Amino acid sequence: LPSMQTSGSKPCPCPSFKLREVASMYFTMIAVFLVILVAALQGSVPRGSDFPYKVPLDPQGLLELSWNVSYPEQAVYFQLLVQNLQFGLLFGMSDRGEFENADLAVLWSNGHNSYFGDAWSDAKGHLHMDSQQDYQLLGSQRTPEGLYLLFRRAFSTCDPKDYLIEDGTVHLIYGILEKPVHSLRAINISAIRRGLQRVQLLKPNITIPELPSDTKTMEITAPNVDIPNQETTYWCYMTELPDGFPKHHIIMYEPVITAGNEALVHHMEVFQCTAQFDSIPHYNGPCNSKMKPERLNYCRHVLAAWAMGAQAFYYPEEAGLPFGGPGSSRYLRLEIHYHNPLVFQGRHDSSGIRLYYTATLRRYDAGIMELGLVYTPVMAIPPGEDAFVLTGYCTDKCTQRALPAAGIRIFASQLHTHLAGRKVVTVLSRDGKERQVVNADGHYSPHFQEIRMLKEVVAVFPGDELITSCTYNTEDRTQATVGGFGILEEMCVNYVHYYPQTQLELCKSAVDPGYLHKYFNFVNRFNDEEVCTCPQVSVPQQFHSVPWNMFNRDVLKSLYGFAPISMHCNKSSAVRFPVRTASRP
């Protein structure tokens, strides 16, 4: 079901029941009879500065969404540019991009007049006019570029049929009407051209720091790649810094997208390789190719990450991300995800990321720390689960030993799971009490991962705990999903960007393996099907042999909730700080 507003949502002033009945009748009449004479409207293109965030909705780029956020009004202002408008369109939001149980704004035409209204779809995908019109049409303009529609939507509306706009990922959906329709109910959403796009609507309202006068740029771009004519491609390209490149600070980066490919370049990342190798082979090709050199797998230190809809990323004026100099690898890997659902052929691409860097080092080196779960099969999700939660801990013992007395400041975060991930949240706990949410995404998608600047810098001090929980859905799987590096295995990670840099690079946990062994022995006592616990049988094999009845599921949940944990409190050299197995925080 979509994220509907319930009694647990943030309270908002709602009219009384009788008043709402009257308001419902009034707004329904207004919506039905609101006629937009779009053909007669002419005007200039709205200023781009009014809508700083922009994303193409469809693969052909015929629908382009721009938006702005007003935190004082608690509202989002949308601008839709529609090229080659035929008989209308649908635009809206749903829990994970479904067209059932969706919250929609609909423009439709019967061939003579055009109508705009706030609507919703039921569990069967049938459209209904919303009794409360919360997509507020502000204007429309026809220009040589196409039709501009301007409308507004509050974050929270008190309407149970409306989607609650929150921080994190929002699944936007769209549909194009290619034939005239005589009423809203006549629209068959299963028969129209439609799709989805993921964005972060509620961008943080932060001050952009001024760049120093000695700022230089470096473009790390693909070398005229012939985009494969398949839906999904991950392309890897190796490059390197000049010989003797001294230490610099990256202070900003932004995307460089080849014109015409805006709807195909889904996300990009620049990784730095480990310094343990003197050389890394050059490579330019698919990331999953058997021809890819094995050493490219050691290029995993993120320098920059961009996803469709994201803007430029700025470091705080007191910190920069170090690269270059002694102990830093010269080798960089660019990875581009091409999303080509219409299977275009002959498209060439030279997209990438532009780094802004300075030789005038800022006060602090920025660092990246991994929070969450260790990549280990002892953490597993049974099959057939709709919302199974696993939690990883960065304990007070680790932060007490590894963080400076003045603490660190987290200013950005990148959440990460594999395909079963649905929600991720990291909270800061101090003295046994939850103090602050570091980052949360209740509509997380593994297909949309970006480094997000936080609305507020989070201060973490020695003795604090950072607790990361991930929610998974395995309803489409018949075997247990274990933790690991494979795409069908799972991860639960928050890469937090912070300053000043410390030796602590990884602060994660997993259940104590000895207690998992006790779980398998316990399962054997209460089940007819025996789970082999022989030393030579791997943990994944033992999980795969568990009969997943309700009892075994509940016992595993209890184990993960209460058993002691194995703490990994690691330096960048992979050497652990001396922190032992801990009881549950």
Hey, is 440 helix, strand or coil?
strand
Which DSSP helix (H) or strand (E) runs through 67? strand 63-70
Q: Is 92 within 8 Å of 105 (Cβ atoms)? A: yes
Q: What share of the chain is helix, strand, coil (3-state, %, to 5)?
A: 15, 40, 45
Cross-strand pairs, 304: 270
Report the largest interatomic distance among the alpha carbons of the chain, rounded to a whole angstrom. 78
Choosing from 234, 339, 517, 544, the catalytic residue is 234
Residue 558 CA: distances (Å) to CA of 323, 388, 525? 44, 12, 17
CA-CA-CA-CA dihedral for 258, 264, 266, 270, to nearest 10: -40
Q: Do residues 354 and 218 make contact, with C-beta atoms less than 8 angstroms apart?
A: yes
What are the angstrom distances between the C-alpha of 424 and each of 438, 442, 497?
11, 7, 17
Torsion of CA 55, 57, 58, 62, to 10 degrees: -80
Provide CB contacts within 8 A for 237, sequence distance 6+: 222, 223, 225, 283, 284, 333, 334, 335, 336
Residue with tokens 């091409």: 338
> CA 312 → CA 47, 155, 251, distances in Å?
19, 24, 11
Q: Where are the alpha helices (H) located in 328-370, listed in sequence order?
A: none
CB 519 within 8 A of CB 555: yes
Write out the two tokens for 411. 């200013």
Q: Say if CB 545 and CB 531 are below 8 A apart.
A: yes
Residue 359 CB neighbour total at 10 angstroms = 13
| Pair of tokens at residue 267 | 């996300």
The active-site residue out of 248, 266, 301, 416 is 416
Distance CA 347, CA 254 (A): 22
Whether 71 sits among the annotated catalytic residues: the reply is no
Q: Are 453 and 313 in contact (CB under 8 A)?
A: yes
Q: Residue 416 catalytic?
A: yes
Q: Which of 351, 352, 434, 350 is nearest to 391 (CA)?
A: 434
Give the Å distances, CA to CA, from 85 to 77, 89, 194: 21, 8, 14
* Residues noted as catalytic: 234, 416
